Amino acid sequence: MATTTEELIAALDALDVASFADDSFKRKSVRAAADRLLARVENPFERIWRLMWQFPMATGTLQTVLNLGIFEGWNQARGGPKTLEELHEYANTSVEIDVLRRLLRLLGSFHILEEVTEDTYKPTPLSMALGDRGSHVPDALDAGTNSLIPSATNLPAYLAKTGYREPIDPNSNSYVDVLPEHQPFFTRLQSNPVFGNQFVSLMTGWSDLKASWVDYFPTGSLLEGADLTSAPLLVDVGGGSGLDLTRFLKAHPAVPTESLVLQDTPDVLELAKLDSKIKLMPHNFFEPQPIIGARTYFFHAVFHDWSDPEAAKILTLIKEAMKPGYSKLLITEMILPPTGASDYQTAMDVFMMTILSAKERTEKVFTQLLESTGFRVVKFWKDLKGIETVVEAELA
Ligand SMILES: C[S@@+](CC[C@H](N)C(=O)[O-])C[C@H]1O[C@@H](n2cnc3c(N)ncnc32)[C@H](O)[C@@H]1O
C-alpha cells in the first residue's frame, strides 16, 4: 500500500497495461477506477476546465492534424521518432511550422503523441491508428466533428426551444436543427456518400469493440426444427454491412445458399462485400416485411435508433410476417442497467436523443415495448463483455 504521494504516483505510473490487455473486463474496471480517481482528485473548477476548455481544444487539434495528413504520412513511414521538421514534411498542404509545433505540443501533453525531447515525438497506438483508415479510428474522429459535436453543443438551445419535451420524432431533434442540411440522420447519410461511408466504417469499428452474438447466444437453437425449404433461416433487418450474418455463417458454414438474408437501404447494401451464400435484399423496415415465415428476424443496434412510437411501427410490421409457434425475434442491443449505468452507456443514450430522437432501453422498458406490440420475451442473453444483450422474443 502506497504511503506517500510520491509512492502513490510511482505505483500508478508503474501500472502495467500489458498485464490485462487481453482481459477487457479487468481493463475496463481499471479504466473506470481511474475515472473515479480523477473525479475525486480534481476540484470543481479543474474538472469543468478539463471538460469544457481542454477537451474541445484536443478534438479540434486532432481533426486539424488528421486533415493535414500527418498521421497518415507517419503511419506509412511505419512510425518511429520524428522531429517537427520531419513531421512537417508529411503535411498534404502548406502549413506554417509554428502552427504545427503548437498542435503537436498539445497532442504530446494529451498523450496522443509521446514527447521525446523538444519538438521531437514518438507515435502512440492511437496516433498510429489515426493514420490508418482501416482502423476505423479516423472515421470516428471525422463523424464526431461532422455530426456529434455540433449536435451536442446545440442540445441546450434545442431542448429549451422545444420546452424540454423528449424528442420522439426522427425529423425533429438537435441534429436536424443544427446541421446545414436540416435532414434527419439516416436521410443525410443516404444523400451524402462521404457521411454514409463514414457511418458504415464507424459501425464496423464499433462492432469490433463488442462481443460477437454467436459467442453468447445458442445459434444452434435456430437450426433445430427449422424448415429451410419454404423460408430463410435468418433475416438480418437493418443489418448494415452484414457482419453478424458473416459471423453466423462462420459458425454454421453448411447452411444452404440464400438461407441468410441481409436487408438494409440500397446505399448501405452497395458497400457490403459478403459470401455469395448471403442474399442481399434492399428493404425499408417501415414497409411490410417481404419475407414471410422466416425462422428468425434479427435486429442489431436498430431499435436504439428509434423512439418507442417508431420502434412499435417496426415491430408491428415484423409481427405480421412471423409464423406463430415457429418464427423467432432476436434483438441485440446495449441494455441499460436500472442503476449504475456506465458513462459509455449514458452518453450513448443522450447521444441517441440528440441525433435521432431515440434512446437506449432497460430490460423493463424493452419488455414493455415488446409486450405492447404483441410479443413475449423468452430470455435476455447477456454477452460476456457486459456491453450487449440478445433479447429473444416470440409472438405472444
Ligand atoms: C446502427 S446501424 C446498425 C447496423 C448493423 N445492424 C450493426 O449492428 O452493425 C442501423 C442500420 O439501420 C439501417 N436503417 C436505417 N433506416 C432504415 C430503414 N428505414 N430501413 C432499413 N434499414 C434502415 C441503417 O442503414 C443502418 O445500417
Q: Is the shortest distance between the CB of 203 and ligand 1 below 6 Å?
A: yes
Looking at the domain assignment, is residue 371 inside a domain? yes
Entry pTM: 0.91
Looking at the domain assignment, is residue 204 inside a domain? yes
256: which DSSP letter? P
Q: What is the count of structural domains for the chain?
A: 3
The answer on pLDDT for 204 being more than 90 is no
Tell me: do 222 and 203 sit in the same domain.
no
Q: Is the shortest distance between the CB of 82 and ligand 1 below 6 Å?
A: no
Domain boundary among 182, 209, 236: 209
205-240 pLDDT, tens digit each:
888 778 899 999 999 999 999 998 889 999 999 999
Rounded CA gap, 104 and 126, in Å? 14
For a ligand 1 pocket test, name from 265, 333, 351 the mutation site with the most ligand atoms within 8 angstroms of its C-beta: 265
Please report which helix (H) or strand (E) contains residue 331, including its range.
strand 328-333
The CATH number for 66's domain is 1.10.10.10
Looking at the domain assignment, is residue 4 inside a domain? no
The answer on pLDDT for 28 being more than 90 is no
DSSP character string of 150-192: HHHHHHHHHHHHTTTPPP--TTSSHHHHHSTT---HHHHHHH-
Q: Is the shortest distance between the CB of 300 and ligand 1 below 6 Å?
A: yes
Tell me: do 291 and 238 sit in the same domain.
yes
Looking at the domain assignment, is residue 32 inside a domain? no
Tell me: do 226 and 367 sit in the same domain.
yes
Tell me: do 296 and 370 sit in the same domain.
yes
One-letter amino acid identity for 372?
A: S
Q: Say how far residue 49 (Cα) sits from the centre of its chain.
A: 27
Q: Is the shortest distance between the CB of 265 and ligand 1 below 6 Å?
A: yes
The answer on pLDDT for 130 being more than 70 is yes
Looking at the domain assignment, is residue 78 inside a domain? yes
Tell me: do 47 and 171 sit in the same domain.
no
Rounded CA gap, 341 and 120, in Å? 41
For a ligand 1 pocket test, name from 186, 192, 359 the mutation site with the most ligand atoms within 8 angstroms of its C-beta: 186
What pLDDT, on a 0 to 100 scale, did the predictor assign at position 2? 54
42-72 pLDDT, tens digit each:
999 999 999 999 999 999 999 999 999 999 9
Looking at the domain assignment, is residue 358 inside a domain? yes
Average pLDDT of the residues of the chain: 94
Query: Which residues are annotated as catalytic?
Result: 304
Tell me: do 185 and 97 sit in the same domain.
no
One-letter amino acid identity for 307?
A: S
Looking at the domain assignment, is residue 62 inside a domain? yes
The answer on pLDDT for 355 being more than 70 is yes
Q: Is the shortest distance between the CB of 196 and ligand 1 below 6 Å?
A: no
277-316 pLDDT, tens digit each:
999 999 999 999 999 999 999 999 999 999 999 999 999 9
What pLDDT, on a 0 to 100 scale, did the predictor assign at position 20? 75
Domain boundary among 112, 132, 152: 132
The answer on pLDDT for 23 being more than 80 is no
Number of neighbours of residue 325 by Cβ within 10 angstroms: 7
Nearest Cα to Cα of residue 370 among 308, 295, 290, 320: 308
Nearest residue (CA) to ligand 1, atom 12: 238
The answer on pLDDT for 349 being more than 70 is yes
What pLDDT, on a 0 to 100 scale, did the predictor assign at position 192? 93
Tell me: do 248 and 388 sit in the same domain.
yes
The CATH number for 250's domain is 3.40.50.150
Tell me: do 255 and 107 sit in the same domain.
no
Mean pLDDT of 159-168: 97
CA 263 – ligand 1 centroid, Å: 9
Q: Is the shortest distance between the CB of 238 and ligand 1 below 6 Å?
A: yes
Residue 355, exposed/middle/buried by CB under 10 A (0-12, 13-18, 19+)? buried
Looking at the domain assignment, is residue 151 inside a domain? yes
Place 386 in a pLDDT band, splitting at 50, 70 and 90.
confident
Nearest residue (CA) to ligand 1, atom 11: 238
Q: Is the shortest distance between the CB of 285 and ligand 1 below 6 Å?
A: yes
Q: What percent of the chain has pLDDT over 90?
A: 84
Tell me: do 148 and 128 sit in the same domain.
no
What pLDDT, on a 0 to 100 scale, did the predictor assign at position 1? 56
Domain boundary among 162, 179, 209: 209
Tell me: do 128 and 161 sit in the same domain.
no
Tell me: do 225 and 294 sit in the same domain.
yes
Rounded CA gap, 39 and 54, in Å? 16
What pLDDT, on a 0 to 100 scale, did the predictor assign at position 99? 98
CA 200 – ligand 1 centroid, Å: 9
The answer on pLDDT for 333 being more than 60 is yes
Nearest residue (CA) to ligand 1, atom 20: 284
Mean pLDDT of 106-122: 98
Rounded CA gap, 106 and 108, in Å? 5
Tell me: do 122 and 174 sit in the same domain.
no
Q: Is the shortest distance between the CB of 304 and ligand 1 below 6 Å?
A: no
- Atom index in ligand 1 nearest the CA of residue 286 equals 19
Range of the domain at 177: 136-209
Q: What is the ipTM for the molecules in this complex?
A: 0.99
